[in-house]
Structure 1
Amino acid sequence: MIGLIRALFGFLRWLGPERASDLGGWLLRSVSPVIPVNRVALANIRAAFPQMAEDEVRRIARGAWENLGRTAAEYAHLNTLFDYDDDNRDAPSRVEVDGIEQFIALKDDGKPGLIFSSHLANWELPAICAAAYKLDTTAVFRAPNDPAIAAIVHEIRSGAMGGLAAAKQGAAFAMQGVLEKGGHLGMLIDQHFTRGVVVPFMGRPALTNPILGKFARRFECPVHGVRVIRLPHHRFRLELTPPLDLPRDANGEIDVQGAMAMMTAVVEGWVREHPEQWLWMHRRWRPNLIAAAKGGDAPIMTIQPVFKAT
């Protein structure tokens, strides 16, 4: 199995980044109507945009599948995909960076820092950008379920990024160690987390991992958001926000749930701006679990589930 996957990645490398991206995008866009989880994507889009015409809902879903296919094919080129040169900003490049001064400030401030992101466009690029600018950053990632694919993806990531921390049991201790040494953590925050805090997202409550809010409270360190936008002609834009002014409780400490709600609101703005570039196939909203997390509060039960929780 791993030999077959290596052969596939070799073929994608032979194609080059542009043709590989086009092939992956075309393939998933073409087959998406018959992929069962496409029903989840359509239901999520309809619930997030209840006034949207059905043709537009399906256009966004097809675009999301195309983006996923492009991103998957681009894994074969992660070590060369980021070609931005800050010393020669006028040189042709497939990547442009908006907010590079924020990266530089993070590198030089002598403090730990937190960076949140989401599954938009090619979400691997921020970690590659940080490594290119020698920003001491550890990216928290979730390995693919298939062991063969996970091994190859980890090999590719290791060659293109800085530190890596797998999201698994005990990972919080490793993440804390990074911050204690003055390093930086980057993490995607737009997926369901069963033991999370409830925050609003796209008009519905969602369970979100509170770890970045907890670290922000403990270390009083800057928290930035970074997103990737897929542009025409196989190009990308990376945007790093200024540090967020996170909400605080009556004691003046960062409020964890409020902090996660603020970060999630930033992500929501990104998704609403480019909905066809987000991962709608994920079961982000799970009303039954949210009701249980809140003790079965009646207001949560008024929300209509868009799919059955398993």
Structure 2
Amino acid sequence: MSISLPWYKRLRDTVLSGTVWALIRMLRAVSAERAAEAGAFWAKLIGPRTSVHQRALRNLRRAFPEKSEAEREAIARGMWDNMGRVAGEFVHLDHIWQFNMWEPAKSRIEVSGATQFIAMRTDGKPALIFTAHLANWELPAIAAAAQGLDSAVLFRPPDNDFLAGLLLNQRAKVMGNLVAASHVAVFELATVLDQGKHLGILVDQDRRGGPTVEFFGHPCTANPTIARLARLYECPVHGVRVIRLPGGRFRIACTPPLDLPRDASGKIDVDASMQAITSVVEGWVREHPAQWTWFYRRWREA
């Protein structure tokens, strides 16, 4: 904590850190399933009473004008349920991965598209992997590390130093190389691909100055990093998503390599590719809308 901060901000951060550590100790004392249930209970109790909930509803009206207000409210409340579960599961990241390919009934995790994961692990080539804030989006990176897939993850740390450090420490225990988004991150990302590793990137948030894409029929901007790297390295681009299942279980699904659009010179077209990737994400969200984070400012005017 920087001593240059005003006293009231230092007090705020001290209270925040004390509260968070107390919650972590409480949630670590119970199973991941019970921690997720507790997180869901409090998120559903508090979340709908916040202004963030109203932003989620505005986004849902934009995305699903054909649905009733009651249907959109149910999706928003389902979102809070999922977010609370993610929070409860966060303190159990070091043992949440339970996968047994020989006895699936004993696994917490189901895998769809396993041949794609195997191919990535054995082909000796770099690959780009996009995902979205669906279900528990921490799991793809955990899965890659657990299954021996040499990988790195681009992430955007929170502005709060305490929370940023907490996230980094928890993730570093169970994930591959972590690359914080910054103006110099592109050099680290290039090194990852030069070494033949696999790079995971979340692609479902707004990026000022990025290419304009259509998402649920409305224009917004996208982060073009993954398409630019695909154009530069000509490596496969896969989509990986997580689906939350009943009973504290998950399905991780991997797409085959996308056939991305190309320009007149034969190179991958960055803007058109971001539209293709965004359309894949939209399909995922439409399938399980309550498992996506609707409070993001995906459309800046929302």
TM-score (norm 2): 0.92
Q: Equivalent residue of 2:250, what SS?
A: strand
Residue 264 of structure 1 corresponds to 278
Give, in whole Å, the separation in 1 of the partners of 2:18 and 2:49.
28
Q: Is 2:104–2:110's contact at 8 Å kept on the other side of the alignment?
A: no
Q: Is 2:113–2:254's contact at 8 Å kept on the other side of the alignment?
A: yes
CA offset at residue 233 of structure 1? 1.0
2:146 paired with 1:132:
yes
Q: Is 2:204–2:281's contact at 8 Å kept on the other side of the alignment?
A: yes
Give, in whole Å, the separation in 1 of the partners of 2:25 and 2:160.
19
Equivalences for residues 141-156 of structure 1 within 5 A: 141-156=155-170
Equivalences for residues 28-67 of structure 1 within 5 A: 28-67=43-82
Partner letter of residue 149 of structure 2? L
Give, in whole Å, the separation in 1 of the partners of 2:223 and 2:34.
36
Aligned alpha-carbon RMSD (Å) = 1.1
Describe the superposition over 1:228-269 as per-residue Cα deviations: whole angstroms up to 9, x where unpaired: 001111111000111001111111111011111111110000
Residue 162 of structure 1 corresponds to 176
Equivalences for residues 6-25 of structure 1 within 5 A: 6-25=21-40
Equivalences for residues 1-310 of structure 1 within 5 A: 1=14, 2-86=17-101, 88-286=102-300, 305=301, 307=302
Q: Equivalent residue of 2:298, what SS?
A: coil
Q: Is 1:143–1:150's contact at 8 Å kept on the other side of the alignment?
A: yes
Structure 1 segments of 4 or more deviating over 6 A? none
Q: Equivalent residue of 1:77, what SS?
A: coil
Partner letter of residue 128 of structure 2? L
Partner letter of residue 219 of structure 2? P
Partner letter of residue 233 of structure 2? F
Partner letter of residue 41 of structure 1? A
Distance change (3 Å), C-alpha of 1:37 and 1:155: same
Q: Is 2:99–2:109's contact at 8 Å kept on the other side of the alignment?
A: yes
TM-score (norm 1): 0.90
Partner letter of residue 79 of structure 1? D
Consecutive unaligned residues in structure 2, runs of 5 or more: 1-13
Q: Equivalent residue of 2:208, what SS?
A: coil
Give, in whole Å, the separation in 1 of the partners of 2:184 and 2:209.
15
Identity %: 50
CA offset at residue 84 of structure 1? 0.6
State which drifts further: 122-131 or 69-78: 69-78
Give, in whole Å, the separation in 1 of the partners of 2:259 and 2:173.
34
Give, in whole Å, the separation in 1 of the partners of 2:215 and 2:264.
25
Q: Is 1:6–1:152's contact at 8 Å kept on the other side of the alignment?
A: no
Q: Equivalent residue of 2:257, what SS?
A: coil
CA offset at residue 8 of structure 1? 1.6
